[in-house]
Amino acid sequence: MRFQIPVHVADRSYTVHIGPGLFAQVGNLTALALQRQAHRAFIVADARVPASVVIAVADSLKSVGLAVRSWALKPSEQDKSLASVERILIEMAKAKLERDDPVIALGGGIIGDVTGFAAAIYRRGIPVIQCPTTLLAMVDASVGGKTGVNLALAEGSLADLKKNFVGVFHQPRLVIADIDSLKTLPPRVLRCGLAECIKHGLLGAIGGDTALLSWMETRLDLFLAQDPDSLVELVSRNVAIKARIVAGDEREEADDATGGRALLNLGHTFAHAIETISHLSPDGTPKNAPLQHGEAVGLGLIAAAATSRALQLCDAATADRITTIINRAGLPTRIAGLPTDEELIAQMLHDKKVRAGELRLILPTQSGDAQVVRNPPSEAVKAGIAAIVLPV
């Protein structure tokens, strides 16, 4: 089973290819997608991606006449930095990459964001081909052109890491999601991707697929068992939702009443605050700290639903349904060790979505979509936090 989903954006529309065995075709698909002839290609590979996969992608690019160099990057939030971008730019210059030569981002969301940003600014912009290897990167980070890095206000401190504070929009020329790469993923990383899929399911009404959440509820065990056809359909339906929302508001400029692309941040203001707390662990054991992004997103969705419930934007059954599917996906639904509500809300106020010093939360609603709530009452936000606290 194989799907092609178009992403319509102002500059140049592109296609997301989803299916098994696609990394062997990266060369042909890249040659078809580029408008001018390229001579070289540069791969930025996630250090977790097996060498055999990097070699397969490189061989495929060589088979269409490109000279290929590659560079490995560690996929950590600390390495999602301007220093990594500078390193990649230097390596691209050493590889003599020119304006028409593509850079290939092969890995998870961090690799796609950092590589996309380097491609956007190298010689004022060269083509980037996104080859996501994690579920999260396939359904979210690789599509829509957001690129960038974190900004560390103080060295070594997660709390002072401002997530995605520096970046630009730089749409890929092509996205190639080879489902086979999910087979080698640790189960924890696959589960994290499911959190973003659940988020899309909650946006089904604006994304044009109102059945996605209930379909996911019936297939969850198949996703976790890595059933290939279920995963191809899962990625395709999620990409279609994201593509539709991005096409409607490419640069996230819609007003709060419309929502637009900002709705894709459902649960993320809670999540960004939670994931900066380095001692939090999904199962309470220090060896699994800190939370991964998808785990924080799952908790963020539950907190957003409870906030929505407190504001009477959704009912208890909707909030319970969200907690149940996150639990069934194997993601944490409550967490020990959170700071006080005031401290967490202060951290949420540092989110880059904050405008005029006011919190802007995206909350799920009864009707299968979400809405922007500016400056919510603190009691409602505290009800959201209470929903994810694990009592000791």
Say whether residue 209 binds ligand GLY (CB under 6 A).
no
- In the complex, the smallest distance separating the C-beta of residue 146 from ligand GLY, rounded to whole angstroms, is 5
- In the complex, the smallest distance separating the C-beta of residue 79 from ligand GLY, rounded to whole angstroms, is 19
- In the complex, the smallest distance separating the C-beta of residue 246 from ligand GLY, rounded to whole angstroms, is 7
- In the complex, the smallest distance separating the C-beta of residue 178 from ligand GLY, rounded to whole angstroms, is 21
Of the pair 173, 293, the CB lying nearest ligand GLY is at: 293
Start-to-end Cα distance in the chain: 47
- In the complex, the smallest distance separating the C-beta of residue 200 from ligand GLY, rounded to whole angstroms, is 10
Buried b (16+ CB within 10 A) or exposed e, 170-190: bbbbbbbbbbbbbeebeeebb
Of the pair 144, 384, the CB lying nearest ligand GLY is at: 144
Say whether residue 271 binds ligand GLY (CB under 6 A).
no
Of the pair 261, 272, the CB lying nearest ligand GLY is at: 261
Give the binding range for ligand GLY (CB under 6 A) out of 72-80, 98-106, 138-146, 325-333.
138-146
| CA distance linking residue 318 with residue 328, whole number of Å | 15
Say whether residue 140 binds ligand GLY (CB under 6 A).
yes
- In the complex, the smallest distance separating the C-beta of residue 391 from ligand GLY, rounded to whole angstroms, is 32
The site for ligand GLY, by CB under 6 A, has a size of: 5
- In the complex, the smallest distance separating the C-beta of residue 145 from ligand GLY, rounded to whole angstroms, is 8
CB atoms within 10 A of CB 19: 19
Report yes or no: 217 and 325 within 8 Å, Cβ to Cβ. Answer: yes
Say whether residue 261 binds ligand GLY (CB under 6 A).
yes
In three-state secondary structure terms, 149 is strand
Of the pair 191, 261, the CB lying nearest ligand GLY is at: 261
E strand residue ranges, 102-258:
103-107, 128-132, 146-152, 161-169, 174-178
Q: Give the residue among 78, 64, 82, 66 at the shortest CA–CA distance from 25.
A: 64
Ordered strands of the 174-178 beta sheet: 3-7, 14-19, 174-178, 128-132, 103-107, 40-46, 67-73
Phi-psi region at 148: left, alpha or beta (left = phi > 0; alpha = psi -120 to 50): left
Question: And the tokens for 286?
Answer: 């220090």
DSSP state of 139: I
Say whether residue 144 binds ligand GLY (CB under 6 A).
yes
One of 40, 80, 146, 200 touching ligand GLY (CB under 6 A): 146
One of 264, 266, 326, 361 touching ligand GLY (CB under 6 A): 264
